[in-house]
Structures are given as structure tokens and as C-alpha cells.
Amino acid sequence: MFTGIVAATGRIEKIDPAPGGVRLRIAAGGLVLDDVALGDSIAVDGVCLTVVSVDRTHFEAEVSQATLGCIAELAAGAAVNLEKALRLADRLGGHLMTGHVDGAGTVLHFEPAGDNRRLVIAAPHDIARYIARKGSVAVNGVSLTVNAVDGDAFEVNLIPHTLGATTLQHLKPGVRVNLEVDLLARYIERLQEAGLAGS
């Protein structure tokens, strides 16, 4: 589990073919890796990946074809948001996230709003229904509060701290981003389906 509070930004240094997908080599930037072991999970732009190799400054992880099919494009040299998995004693500053990206959205607007930035994203239709005003959504692994919803598009506000601490500062219209909707929305839908089936 993750919280959507980005710990550091890193960079994809290398992408190599691997059986069933690709293998990433990621420079961890300011993310401390001293307590990371093989098999641990790290969210990379919101995608939960398993560490298969690690040293003091880099880690490697493999991405399956199934995951590649639902996330935004990976590129060597790209900056990425990083977060280690939540420990039971950690503060939950954002919202509970699994790191299982639901799909990729497209940035429609990214514009100044005073010291902040207004970000509007078009979500895939099949996941837009789970995004609600004042609810939570993860964009490239960053926990954000939804300010408005208009059809399949939604709007969030990025404060200077979030801009400075994450890769979201580099967004522009047309860029694709990873989206993970709030877990509660999916569970509520499933419970409603079960209730209807039983009636």
C-alpha cells in the first residue's frame, strides 16, 4: 500500500527488454535505499513495482506487458515520482493507494492560478465514473483532491509544495498520466452490484 505522498523524484536511466515485459533501471535521486531489500515494493509514477536489484543509488524493477498496456508510456531519461511502500507505523498523509494503475489520462489544461496551478485531465470513460468532486485521485502517484468534475474530465489544484516536490511541475497539455481512483469507489460499486444480484 502507498499514500500518494511522494518521497523523492528519480529518473529512468535504462529500459531493457525482459521476458514478458521490460526491465527498468532507475536512479533513486533523494530516495534512501538503505532499507530496501529485494522483493520490496516501490511506486514509480504510481505504479507498484517489485525491486529485483538494488544498490545505494539505483534500483531495478520489471514491468509486465499487462501493466505496460494500462499505464502512460515509459521513456528512458524521464523523471519519475518515487514512494516506498507504507509501513504500519507511518502517517497516512494522502489516501490509501494500491499502486495498481487504473488507466492513463490526458492533460487538457495546465495553467497558473495565482501561485498554484490548475490541472485538468481527461480520464478514460470507464474509470471517470469513479472520480468524484472532493474525492481523492492519484496522478502519477501523487495523492490529490478533486475540485471539479465535468463529464470524463476532472480538475485538481497543485500548490507550490506539490509542484516543487514532484514531477507534476513538468506537465503540459497532451501528456498522458497514470491514474488510480479511490479504492472506496470500487468497493462501493461492487457492494451495490452484490446487493442488486441478491435482491
The C-alpha cell that represents 32 in the structure block: 534512501
Question: With contact defined as beta carbons under 8 Å apart, do 100 and 188 qualify?
Answer: no
What integer pLDDT is reported at residue 169 of this predicted model?
A: 97
Residue 59 neighbours by CB under 8 Å, 6+ apart: 25, 26, 28, 33, 36, 42, 51, 53
**Cα distance between residue 87 and residue 95, in whole Å:** 14
- pLDDT tens readout for residues 63-72: 999 999 999 9
In order along its 199 residues, the chain shows pLDDT tens digits of: 899 999 999 999 999 999 999 999 999 999 999 999 999 999 999 999 999 999 999 999 999 999 999 999 999 999 999 999 988 777 778 888 999 999 999 999 999 999 999 999 999 999 999 999 999 999 999 999 999 999 999 999 999 999 999 999 999 999 999 999 998 887 887 788 877 666 5
Let me know: does 88 contact 124? Beta carbons within 8 Å. no
Beta strands in the chain (DSSP E): 8-18, 21-27, 41-44, 47-54, 58-64, 79-84, 103-113, 116-122, 136-139, 142-150, 153-158, 176-181
pLDDT score, position 166: 98
pLDDT value, residue 185: 80
pTM score of the predicted model:
0.93
Cα distance between residue 55 and residue 20, in whole Å: 24
Tell me which residue of 79, 153, 144 sits closest to 117, measured CA to CA: 144
**List of domains in the chain:** 8-84 (2.40.30.20), 103-189 (2.40.30.20)
Residue 12 to residue 44: CA distance in whole angstroms: 10
Q: Which of 186, 171, 174, 185 is nearest to 45 (CA)?
A: 171
